[in-house]
Amino acid sequence: MSSIPGDLRYTKNHEWVRLGADGNVTMGITDHAQELMGEIVMVELPPAGQDLRAGQSAGVLEAVKTAEDFYAPVDGKVVAANEALESDPGLVNRDCYGEGWLITIHPSNPSQFEGLLDAGQYKELAGE
């Protein structure tokens, strides 16, 4: 049984999304997703300033045997990417909701956040 914090929003692609006090959203992959993928050995992140649309590939997580894209949860501009993952991609496994975050986006359409799954809906989707 994986951890699904109640204060976050989620996507169908097993990403979590946190709304910051500044209106920016930070995202990562869920505990369920990191457990399914196994050890992340490399992370490809988008450059700051890149415009993304909701559902668009934002980067790639490479596990030993598989690679998975991760997707922008909302429209917006990348304002930060987690550079610590460059030297320690395993942070995604060890602390997926904290130090293993992926990117922060400045949303261009803030109402999209409210349309994301809540913890209960995600729990159902993840089959837990």
Partner 1 sequence: MDKQTPLYSRHVALGAHIEPFGGYLMPIRYGSVIDEHLVVRKGVGIFDLSHMGEFRVKGAGALEFLDGLLTNNADIPVGKAFYSAMCYPDAGIVDDLIVYRLGDDEFLMVVNAANIDKDWAWVMSHTGSFDVRITNESDQTALVAIQGPKSQELAALLTTVDLDSVGFYALARGTVAGRQAIISRTGYTGEDGFEFYISAEDAPSVWDAAMKAGEPLGITPVGLAARDTLRLEVGYVLYGNDIDHSTSPLEARMGWAVKLSSDKDFVGRDVLRRQKEDGVSRLLVGLTVEGKGVIRHGTELFQGDRRIGVVTSGSMAPSLNVVVGLGYVEKACSKAGTKIEAELRGRRIPVTITRTPFYTAGSRRQ
Counting contacts by CB under 8 A, is residue 7 touching partner 1? no
**Token pair listed for 92:** 């995604």
Distance separating alpha carbons of residues 73 and 12, to the nearest angstrom: 10
- Shortest distance, position 62 Cβ to partner 1, whole Å: 4
- Shortest distance, position 78 Cβ to partner 1, whole Å: 17
* Binding piece for partner 1, criterion CB under 8 A, among 8-16, 20-28, 55-63, 107-115: 55-63
Distance separating alpha carbons of residues 17 and 44, to the nearest angstrom: 18
Counting contacts by CB under 8 A, is residue 60 touching partner 1? yes
Query: For residue 5, what are the contacts with CB-CB under 8 A and spacing of at least 6?
Result: 16, 97, 119
Counting contacts by CB under 8 A, is residue 48 touching partner 1? no
Nearer to partner 1, 9 or 14 (CB): 14
Bridge partners (DSSP) of residue 104 are 26, 80
Q: Which of 18, 62, 68, 108 binds partner 1 (CB under 8 A)?
A: 62
State which H helix or E strand residue 37 sits in: helix 31-37
- Residue numbers of the site for partner 1 (CB under 8 A)? 36, 38-39, 41-42, 44, 60, 62-65, 67
